[in-house]
């Protein structure tokens, strides 16, 4: 066990944390919804393909969509029942997405073959990775990159450091915090599997200082299980949990522009993903549920809820007492990187870490004025970019210039927009600019 140190990265901001609303609330199990919606796209990469038909009966844990390539994962029925439709349904990330709709039989019958196997650490690496893909694992911190791909670095990119991400720097969200307090052993055993797969010599658990109880729990358990893991206390600063910033804080290494963590010998996984790796490898249990923080001034009750994937947002909000009359914007995720939602018929997906309901006042956007060249956006950008310039390039359609000023390195953390006194929606402009650059690159290839 390593010594407690406090590390960080340059840039970043300190938005109000708003964690107290839910950080002390134990995870509650949400009742089963009467219907779930399982979209084919819940991960980065090729969408999965439905393998069931309307009218089929399915068991919980049964694959209903298969992966369509290496960078793709299957999805599973999260309840038992009947497939009532395979059609476009509202999706948290945008317009309608093809989805398998399952009506519950109320029995929660599970597919056979799921159960703990004592000797799971003796499985060969190929079998472990195949179980991780078959379980449909994709980064549960919100990035949703297929886990088996991240854990299969090419031979010319040896990994010497694995970092378990327990930072949860996004305001309001406490699902990872609660998981660390309530099921730390599963996380650490998942981390042990990941370390075995990567062959990394260093394993670090990074947690922000504001979760001192989780730091203590992890330290004690690491010592008790005699695991060769360091627990590192990180400065409370947003976006400490972003991969590149976490790597910088823990190892001092900088991921190069356009590069990946593996370029500097690192892999990062979220605590929820590590727990899911344990379930997948040791029990062949697919990813059919996750913890969601339901919070915000616009909610009647705030909770950390364990809910089945595919549960409609409306069901989850109702379980938490419903939204208040003065509720405003509803966001999937946190206020910095989350996405505003237009339909409460959209389902919880693998990357849904929270549902944040703001009130009317908080939802109001301030009117945008002209840039006063204060450079605050530049000071806080954790990627060392020039948000003010990038925004201006995009506004004036100078996409080539935006590309030359590394717009693609933007991690969309929102820090620049947060501090901008002119209320310029820099992230929106930069996101749009990134799409234009990506189109240009595709056209040229």
Positions touching ligand SF4 (CB under 6 A) are 371-377, 380-383, 385, 387-388, 410-416, 419-422, 424, 426-427, 430
DSSP state of 364: P
Cα–Cα distance list, 423 to 139, 308, 370 (Å): 32, 38, 9
Token pair for 400: 């080539």
Q: Which is nearer to ligand SF4, 204 or 420 (CB)?
A: 420
Q: Which helix (H) or strand (E) holds 289?
A: strand 289-295
Output the smallest distance, CB 167 to ligand SF4, in A: 16
Output the smallest distance, CB 366 to ligand SF4, in A: 12
Output the smallest distance, CB 187 to ligand SF4, in A: 28
Output the smallest distance, CB 237 to ligand SF4, in A: 13
Output the smallest distance, CB 217 to ligand SF4, in A: 31
Distance from the Cα of residue 254 to its chain's centroid: 22
Output the smallest distance, CB 374 to ligand SF4, in A: 4
Q: Which is nearer to ligand SF4, 61 or 387 (CB)?
A: 387
Half-sphere exposure for 121 (CA within 13 Å, toward CB): 9
- The neighbour count for residue 337, using CB atoms within 10 Å, is 20
Q: Which is nearer to ligand SF4, 30 or 380 (CB)?
A: 380
Q: Which is nearer to ligand SF4, 217 or 380 (CB)?
A: 380
DSSP state of 192: H
Q: Which is nearer to ligand SF4, 146 or 334 (CB)?
A: 334
Closest CA relative to residue 279, chosen from 291, 289, 287: 287
Query: What CA–CA distance (Å, rounded) separates 403 from 421?
Result: 25
Query: What CA–CA distance (Å, rounded) separates 253 from 2?
Result: 19
Query: What CA–CA distance (Å, rounded) separates 445 from 440?
Result: 9
Q: Which is nearer to ligand SF4, 93 or 422 (CB)?
A: 422
Residue 104 pairs with which residues in a beta bridge? Answer: 81
Output the smallest distance, CB 340 to ligand SF4, in A: 16
Q: Which is nearer to ligand SF4, 132 or 402 (CB)?
A: 402
- N-to-C CA span, the chain: 48
């Amino acid at each position: 066990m390593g010594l407690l140190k406090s590390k960080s990265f340059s840039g970043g901001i300190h938005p109000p944390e708003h964690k107290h609303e839910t950080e002390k609330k134990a995870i509650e199990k949400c009742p089963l919804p009467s219907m779930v919606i399982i979209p084919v796209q819940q991960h980065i990469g090729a969408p999965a393909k439905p393998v069931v038909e309307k009218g089929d009966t399915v068991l919980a844990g049964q694959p209903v969509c298969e992966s369509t390539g290496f960078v793709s994962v299957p999805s599973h029925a999260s309840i038992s029942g009947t497939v009532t439709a395979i059609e476009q349904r509202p999706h948290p990330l945008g317009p309608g997405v093809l989805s398998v709709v399952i009506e519950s039989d109320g029995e929660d019958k599970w597919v056979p073959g799921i159960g703990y196997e004592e000797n799971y650490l003796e499985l060969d690496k190929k079998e472990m990775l195949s179980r991780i893909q078959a379980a449909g694992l994709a980064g549960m911190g919100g990035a949703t990159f297929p886990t088996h791909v991240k854990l299969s670095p090419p031979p010319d990119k040896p990994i010497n450091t694995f970092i378990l991400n327990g930072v949860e720097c996004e305001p309001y969200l406490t699902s990872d915090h609660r998981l660390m307090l309530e099921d730390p052993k599963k996380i650490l055993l998942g981390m042990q599997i990941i370390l075995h797969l990567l062959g990394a010599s260093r394993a670090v658990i990074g947690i922000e200082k504001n979760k001192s109880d989780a730091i203590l729990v992890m330290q004690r358990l690491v010592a008790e299980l005699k695991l060769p893991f360091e627990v590192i206390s990180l400065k409370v600063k947003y976006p400490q949990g972003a991969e590149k910033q976490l790597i910088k804080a823990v190892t001092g290494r900088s991921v190069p522009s356009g590069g990946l963590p593996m370029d500097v010998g690192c892999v990062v996984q979220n605590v929820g993903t590590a727990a899911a790796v344990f379930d997948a490898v040791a029990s062949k249990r697919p990813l059919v549920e996750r913890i969601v923080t339901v919070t915000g001034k616009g909610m009647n009750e705030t909770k950390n809820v364990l809910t089945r994937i595919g549960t409609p947002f409306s069901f989850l909000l109702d379980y938490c007492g419903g939204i208040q009359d003065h509720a405003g914007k509803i966001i999937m995720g946190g206020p910095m990187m989350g996405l505003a939602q237009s339909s409460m018929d959209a389902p919880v997906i693998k990357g849904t870490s929270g549902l944040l309901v703001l009130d009317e006042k908080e939802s109001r956007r301030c009117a945008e004025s002209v840039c006063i060249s204060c450079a605050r956006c530049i000071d806080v950008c954790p990627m060392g970019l020039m948000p003010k310039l990038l925004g201006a390039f995009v506004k004036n359609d100078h996409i080539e210039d935006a590309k030359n000023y590394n717009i693609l390195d933007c991690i969309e953390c929102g820090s620049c927009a947060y501090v901008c006194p002119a209320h310029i929606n820099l992230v929106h402009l930069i996101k749009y600019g990134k799409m234009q650059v990506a189109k240009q690159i595709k056209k040229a290839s």
